[in-house]
């Protein structure tokens, strides 16, 4: 299944702090050993974590990572890891955090993320929208578009996450920050965090404002049984949703009639026991009904997976061959939140990879 690694892929649902390398996490845990209990070390080291343990682990990860230097380090590593497995477009999401003890504001947290993008060396990285036009124009004028596009390159765009523990005001602060950082590649807003906490109406004003201002909005939707919230989220007409594990018949009908793309995270759904087994996963129905879907990792570090791993899993579980998996990957370009120029460039990348496949 080397072809799953080799082919270009698009990742639209990856949380920064869920994508940390295990080795980095353990190193940080050892450095700051006084905050890690034996119990927590056990949770870091094990590979199958329940939903409850996952959120416990995130609280630990945040203690270990929420200083500027570490945020920069993990951003750089995470982007390089995705690029290494031929992800050509990454929409990386993260929750801007305030940490008074470290002199960190939501804004300085995001500046540390941007520093991490700037620090990427192992691969060409494109994360400032303005550069897209310039780079492409330079390639055209030099008459070497093909060679420009053949260099290994990853486009990275950012989504700012609102945590369900936050207030309306805090959510609005995140949206305003996203608007201020549009020129640095922020393309949208995500609603995430423990799905058993918080009320949809708390976040609605900020999410509505984000949409009005032209930001993409994606929602964690249907991770736990909450039929009313699922209806409200679908009626909001988000640009995409993630998970959709606890949908009832009417929810599926609505989702399909609205054609809202779904970020499908197979391993995450199984590990958190949101779906009992892959043979009953909604991937099959969505795929067979040609509903827009994107295969994603959610948290490759926390769930010990990778984008290629998710492609291999889908291919073997649902009997899809190389051509079908390639089509799934290239179709994802239609659902990215970056502008048309990036879409066009990605389409050229996929077209050229497709010729190699034939």
Active-site annotation, residues: 223
| Binding flag, residue 58, ligand 5GP (CB under 6 A) | yes
Q: Which of 16, 171, 177, 233 binds ligand 5GP (CB under 6 A)?
A: 16
Q: Which residues contact 272 (CB under 8 A, 6 or more apart)?
A: 49, 50, 51, 54, 223
Binders of ligand 5GP among 123-162, rule CB under 6 A?
161
Question: E strands within the chain?
Answer: 9-15, 87-94, 124-126, 153-163, 186-192, 216-221, 240-243, 262-264, 293-295
Q: How far is the CB of 299 from ligand 5GP (least distance, A)?
A: 5
For ligand 5GP, give the closer residue by CB, 58 or 89.
58
E strands along 244-343, which residues? 262-264, 293-295
Give the C-alpha separation, 80 to 85, whole Å.
Answer: 9
Smallest separation (angstroms) from ligand 5GP to the CB of 27: 18
Residues between 291 and 320 that touch ligand 5GP (CB under 6 A): 298-299
Of 7, 9, 12, 17, the one binding ligand 5GP (CB under 6 A) is 17
Torsion of CA 316, 317, 321, 322, to 10 degrees: -60
C-alpha gyration radius of the chain: 19
Instruction: Kindly report the number of other CB atoms within 10 A of residue 45's CB atom.
Output: 11
Classify burial at 79, counting beta carbons within 10 Å of its beta carbon; exposed 0-12, middle 13-18, buried 19 or more.
Answer: buried
Per-residue exposure over 270-297, b if at least 16 CB sit within 10 Å of its own CB, e if not: bbbebbeebeebbbeebbeeebebbbbb
Q: Does 111 bind ligand 5GP (CB under 6 A)?
A: no
Interface residue with ligand 5GP among 70, 75, 86, 94 (CB under 6 A) is: 94
Nearer to ligand 5GP, 92 or 312 (CB): 92
Nearer to ligand 5GP, 70 or 192 (CB): 192
Stretch that binds ligand 5GP, among 11-19, 34-42, 144-152, 179-187 (CB under 6 A): 11-19
By beta-carbon proximity to ligand 5GP, the closer residue of 185 and 193 is 193
Determine which residue in the list 111, 268, 306, 308 makes contact with ligand 5GP, applying CB under 6 A: 268
Nearest to 217 by CA among 337, 339, 341: 337
Q: Is 220 in the site for ligand 5GP (CB under 6 A)?
A: yes
What residue ranges bind ligand 5GP (CB under 6 A)?
15-18, 58, 94-95, 161, 163, 192-193, 195, 220, 223, 268, 298-299
């Amino acid at each position: 299944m080397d072809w799953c690694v080799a082919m270009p892929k698009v990742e639209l649902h990856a949380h920064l702090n869920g994508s940390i390398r295990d080795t980095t996490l353990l190193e940080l845990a050892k450095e700051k050993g006084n905050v890690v209990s034996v119990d927590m070390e056990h949770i870091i080291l094990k590979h199958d974590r329940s939903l409850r343990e996952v959120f416990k682990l995130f609280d630990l990860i945040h203690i270990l990572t929420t200083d500027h230097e570490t945020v920069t380090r993990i951003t750089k590593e995470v982007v390089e890891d995705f690029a290494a497995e031929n992800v050509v477009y990454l929409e990386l999401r993260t929750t801007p955090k305030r940490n008074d003890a470290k002199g960190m504001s939501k804004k300085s947290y995001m500046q540390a993320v941007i520093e991490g993008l700037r620090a990427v060396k192992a691969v060409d990285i494109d994360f400032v929208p303005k550069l897209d036009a310039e780079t492409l124009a330079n390639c055209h004028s030099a008459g070497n578009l093909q060679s420009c596009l053949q260099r290994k390159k990853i486009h990275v765009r950012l989504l700012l996450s609102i945590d369900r523990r936050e207030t309306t005001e805090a959510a609005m602060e995140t949206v305003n920050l996203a608007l201020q950082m549009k020129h640095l590649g922020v393309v949208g807003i995500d609603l995430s965090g423990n799905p058993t906490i918080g009320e949809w109406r708390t976040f609605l004003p900020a999410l509505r404002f984000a949409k009005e201002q032209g930001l993409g909005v994606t929602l964690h939707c249907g991770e736990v049984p909450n039929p009313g919230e699922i209806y409200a989220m679908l009626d909001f007409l988000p640009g995409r949703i993630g998970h959709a594990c606890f949908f009832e018949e009417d929810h599926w009908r609505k989702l399909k009639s609205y054609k809202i793309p779904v970020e499908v995270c197979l391993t995450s759904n199984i590990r958190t026991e949101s779906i009992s087994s892959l043979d009953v996963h909604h991937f099959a129905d969505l795929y067979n009904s040609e509903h827009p879907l994107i295969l994603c990792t959610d948290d490759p570090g926390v769930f010990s997976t990778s984008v290629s791993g998710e492609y291999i899993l889908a291919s073997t579980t649902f009997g899809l061959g190389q051509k079908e998996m390639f089509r799934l990957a290239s179709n994802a370009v239609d659902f990215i939140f970056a502008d048309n120029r990036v879409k066009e460039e990605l389409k050229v990348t996929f077209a050229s990879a497709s010729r190699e496949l034939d």
